[in-house]
Structure 1
Amino acid sequence: MKPQIHLIIALQGPELSESETTFLNRVRPAGVILFGRNLSAGLKQTTALIKAIGKTAGAPTIWIDQEGGRVQRLRDPLTRHPSPYQFALLARTDPIRAERLLFTAGRLCGEELRALGIGVNCAPVLDIREAGADPVIGDRAFGAHFSEVIMNATSWLHGFRQTGVMAIGKHFPGHGAARADSHLTLPILDKSLKSLQKWELNPFRAMLDFLPGLMTAHIAMPQIDDGVPATWSRSLLHKLLRQKWRYPGVIVSDALEMGALNGSMEERARRAILAGCDLVLCCTGRMEDNEAVIEGIERASRTLDVGEDEASRRRIRHVLAPYRLEPGAIRRLLKDPGYRKRRAQVEAVAEEAFAVDPTAPGIPSTRTHHE
């Protein structure tokens, strides 16, 4: 089997099983994304898992969601990061301190991920918080106005990019105004492209040059593509992002198993690739789901123009190559005086305790939540 370069998968637990090892060696996906279920046994086991994944054929990149606040897969004993909106509140009263702390928080996040060998972070969130919307975004947003999101997310990203870990902005073209949770059902946002360009699209457009990857939203916009979710919308992904904006980075689907999408896993993957996604996320940890997604990818690749498919493959290889990282000395980092000082500064404005993650998967299933 040729490498499944369009595929990002998840695992069942904190150790790489024999069947997962066999799958990784046979399939050679582009990446493996980690969730709380993979990280519950402590840093030593997490490092061992990442090393084991790295030894399989193709040495896939390691992915994670480490936004801060509620959505933070890696928790104790690492930094308790404030929610993005906590920084927005601080910036309204003390913008200089907020800018400094955002830079520091981004740097801390990247330092910790790099020390563990995690090369790709599905952050920052570029959605705009909106009153009356479903709380699934809420304090995950860097502000309630696009100018706030741009300013605060850029400060965070400047610090993060210094560490050599890849950032993926999400959820294109904007999930903040959604009145429903796309983990459960398909949100409808009845706005024209002109309206989106005046509001939701601003953070993505402004930060495009700093983001090697963008993640799609499972949100339908009837005025743009007849109610098709953005993940399946060629109008948004190919015509707008690729052709009009000339975006050179990779486009990643949100998790295919989420409730906003319908149809088989094979069909979900096929439609995402045909719309313009370079990479698709299958986060259930089930081998049968992975196999179905592979079939969908291959069906789409046979349908796509040869030049477009090859361009996508080149893009994936080029963008992901620098982010295949080896685990470093995480324990040494945790003891470093400079790191500890920066961490104390950031945690001083964090919530008192880790909040419940609204996106965390439970027992793996075809309805497992991701973003």
Structure 2
Amino acid sequence: MSEHAPVILDVAGLALGDDDRRRLAHPLVGGMILFGRNWESREQLTNLCAEIKSIREDLLVCVDHEGGRVQRFRSDGFTHLPPMRRFGDLWFKDAKGREGSGAMRAMAAATAAGYVLGAELRACGVDFSFTPVLDLDYGESSVIGDRSFHRDPRVVTLLARSLMQGLLQAGVANCGKHFPGHGFVKADSHLEVPVDTRGLKAILEEDAIPYEWLGATLTSVMPAHVIYPKVDSLPAGFSPKWLNEILREKLHFQGAIFSDDLSMEGARKIEGHPVTFTEAAVAALSAGCDMVLLCNESVHSDGGKSIDEMLDGLSGAQSRGEWRFNEVSEQRRLALLPCGPSVSWDSLMTEPRYMRALQLLP
């Protein structure tokens, strides 16, 4: 394969404009991420996704759709999914005289949530959601909070695996985030660069262990914009040590690696130095990311000039040999596209599996 399309970008509105179409046709663009501002109704969303696919069928249409407070589509029939903490709470609510029954119900409910989430998205033409959160709930992080299943990595792993099973039943891949763990730090990487001062042994035995236990079940991973100075001075998403030595070599992860959003404050400096979006993208790709996200730049008054600057900059950096792609990265991107046929929304509403899954939600 001669091309690698690593950039995931966004658009400003409910339909594509000329600049959006031009950017989505760029050879370095491999997908698009949707936000609440891109939502008005199921019909509008379905038309938008169809328009995206008309530009290039293999563009990956993504969304942050986890449940709880991180759910972009909430009306016009979309199920309000619970935050992941609800499943962790259910785990410990055994029926009288039936030890472990809470865990069984929690896993069944998580599988149901994964199926509802994936099936509703696919019925509207969305390919992929950045879920589940694998961060542990230390009770400190406001940005993670109830997005986490639990503090215990064993509970997190089994509930995440259950959710992934439901996603897979709907033909949807998964994304474990935020490697190696964002739950221990208080700071929000959208606003600053969090620092986790623990050593590698503590992180691998707690926060990162779900990534090892989930093994081949994980189809993609998103690293944290967090610095772990006892391991590396670079944030995890820009760190060859974290992505190649630890995630790829030590934990044997074979799927795709996404950068977190390069417009977040946690990605605006590398080793204390401000970086452009192009420099951040080159650093992430060189460190081992297969794809990079640049979000919320299309809404600026300049019409998303910074997106064009990054695409031009990446093209130039590629021609100068500052970053290289290989066939494996593109294969990982393509592997995230949905498998199996999707059904229409009307058909989904009467599908027995879907109706049963709704009954199982907590």
TM-score with structure 2 setting the length:
0.87
Aligned to 2:239: 233
Give 1:311 shift: 4.5
Aligned to 1:270: 282
Offset from partner CA, 1:175-227 (integer Å, 9 cap, x none): 0111100110010001221111111111111113111110111000101112x
Aligned to 1:42: 41
Instruction: Give yes or no for contact 1:114–1:325 (8 Å, CA) kept in 2.
Output: no
AA in 1 matched with 2:103: P
Give 1:3 shift: 5.6
AA in 1 matched with 2:61: I
Instruction: Give yes or no for contact 1:28–1:58 (8 Å, CA) kept in 2.
Output: no
- Of 339, 348, 353, 1:333 maps to 348
- Of 124, 130, 145, 2:132 maps to 124
Aligned to 2:5: 5
Aligned to 2:98: none
**Distance in 1 separating the partners of 2:349 and 2:338:** 22
Aligned to 2:146: 139
Moved over 6 A (4+): 324-327
Offset from partner CA, 1:322-343 (integer Å, 9 cap, x none): 4389874123323446533432
AA in 1 matched with 2:137: R
Q: Secondary structure at the match of 1:95?
A: helix
**Distance in 2 separating the partners of 1:324 and 1:265:** 32
Aligned to 2:97: none
Alignment of 1:96-135 (within 5 A): 96-131=104-139, 133-135=140-142
Give 1:305 shift: 7.5
Offset from partner CA, 1:255-295 (integer Å, 9 cap, x none): 00001122221121111111111100011242322223324
Instruction: Give yes or no for contact 2:4–2:327 (8 Å, CA) kept in 1.
Output: no
Q: Secondary structure at the match of 1:297?
A: helix
**Distance in 2 separating the partners of 1:224 and 1:108:** 39
**Distance in 2 separating the partners of 1:60 and 1:28:** 11
Give 1:27 shift: 3.9
Alignment of 1:8-87 (within 5 A): 8-27=8-27, 29-39=29-39, 41-57=40-56, 59-76=58-75, 77-87=77-87
**Distance in 1 separating the partners of 2:341 and 2:314:** 29
**Distance in 2 separating the partners of 1:238 and 1:120:** 24
Find out whether 1:162 has 2:147 as its counterpart: no
**Distance in 2 separating the partners of 1:184 and 1:33:** 20
Q: Secondary structure at the match of 2:196?
A: coil
Q: Secondary structure at the match of 1:161?
A: helix
**Distance in 2 separating the partners of 1:53 and 1:330:** 19
TM-score with structure 1 setting the length:
0.85
Instruction: Give yes or no for contact 2:128–2:174 (8 Å, CA) kept in 1.
Output: yes
**Which stretch of structure 1 is more off in the superposition, 15-24 or 212-221?**
15-24
**Distance in 2 separating the partners of 1:340 and 1:210:** 26
Offset from partner CA, 1:75-123 (integer Å, 9 cap, x none): 1221111110011001111222212111111111111122122121100
Instruction: Give yes or no for contact 2:260–2:293 (8 Å, CA) kept in 1.
Output: yes
Offset from partner CA, 1:301-320 (integer Å, 9 cap, x none): 444685xx314444335523
Question: How many residues of Structure 1 are paired with residues of Structure 2 in the alignment?
Answer: 340
Find out whether 1:220 has 2:237 as its counterpart: no
Closer, same or farther in 2 for the Cα pair 1:122/1:98, shift >3 Å?
Answer: same
Closer, same or farther in 2 for the Cα pair 1:84/1:6, shift >3 Å?
Answer: same
AA in 2 matched with 1:266: T
Find out whether 1:289 has 2:306 as its counterpart: yes
- Of 167, 184, 191, 1:184 maps to 191
Instruction: Give yes or no for contact 1:186–1:260 (8 Å, CA) kept in 2.
Output: yes
**Distance in 2 separating the partners of 1:122 and 1:215:** 8
Instruction: Give yes or no for contact 2:261–2:267 (8 Å, CA) kept in 1.
Output: no
Give 1:152 shift: 1.3
- Of 250, 255, 267, 1:249 maps to 255
Structure 1 spans left out of the alignment, 5+ residues: 350-371
Closer, same or farther in 2 for the Cα pair 1:78/1:318, shift >3 Å?
Answer: closer
Percent identity (aligned): 32
The two structures, once aligned, show a CA RMSD in angstroms of 2.2
Aligned to 1:354: none
Structure 2 spans left out of the alignment, 5+ residues: 94-101, 269-274, 299-303
Instruction: Give yes or no for contact 2:67–2:83 (8 Å, CA) kept in 1.
Output: yes
- Of 87, 103, 116, 1:95 maps to 103
Aligned to 1:207: 214
Closer, same or farther in 2 for the Cα pair 1:313/1:204, shift >3 Å?
Answer: closer
AA in 2 matched with 1:256: L
Q: Secondary structure at the match of 1:223?
A: coil
